[in-house]
Amino acid sequence: MRANYLSKAFLIALVGCLGAATLLASPGLAQPSVILAEPARVASFNDASSLLQRLQADALEVRFEADHLHAFGNEPFLIGWQAYGVLLNQARANVTDMDTVLYRLRLNQGTYTPWQRNLIARVAPTIVTLSDTTSDALATLNQNQGRIAFTNLSGLADDMYKDAGLIGHRIQSYDKYEDARREVRELGQSLRVRTNG
């Protein structure tokens, strides 16, 4: 039974090391730090994790809405501009929430772990781009309500889809890595083996 725990711990550690090596090879990323067990640090870590999950949920919603906008573009003469407007307003609400969450993350980022700060720095430019693209799509719709078929609305929806997907993917990768680190720590504690994170 103990051998099974050791092999599982080894496998998780190997996956974590490979993931860390891949991330360290990426420009602009630093090694994740050890989370101290201080209550304020834990609360800050949990606050950042909660806000990042909210960003991920908003990104998934925007991606869903952008996918529908693109599908509408396949039949622009059958879909009225109002349907586009409903989806774009929903996307705008989600992007506005993402901007608000990003503001809160940046405001408190000095209290987050280096790993969380790096993730925030990586998703921030994509959120700004997504916000700009959503604004451009709304402006395009408002200026061309009767001529949607002759606009680049489908291309803007594709850009929104890709940006939202990238944000969601980056946050999901962070979550997977953090889960693996937590499991290694827990296994190390149950085996009374000291781990680095």
Check which CATH number belongs to the domain holding 128 and give it: 1.20.1420
Does residue 18 lie in a domain region? no
Q: How many structural domains does the chain have?
A: 1
Does residue 26 lie in a domain region? no
Does residue 60 lie in a domain region? yes
pLDDT greater than 60 at residue 176? yes
The tens digit of pLDDT for each residue in 31-43 reads: 333 344 444 555 6
Distances (CA, A) of 86 to 27, 109, 117, 138, 177: 39, 34, 34, 10, 36
Does residue 23 lie in a domain region? no
Domain containing residue 133: 41-175
Owner of token pair 């998934």: 60
Do residues 66 and 158 make contact, with C-beta atoms less than 8 angstroms apart?
yes
Mean pLDDT of 81-94: 94
* Most confident stretch, 5-9, 62-66, 170-174, 186-190: 62-66
Does residue 27 lie in a domain region? no
pLDDT at 33: 38
Does residue 2 lie in a domain region? no
Mean pLDDT of 27-55: 62
Does residue 63 lie in a domain region? yes
More confident position, 49 or 32: 49
More confident position, 193 or 173: 173
More confident position, 175 or 108: 108
Does residue 197 lie in a domain region? no
Average pLDDT, the chain: 79
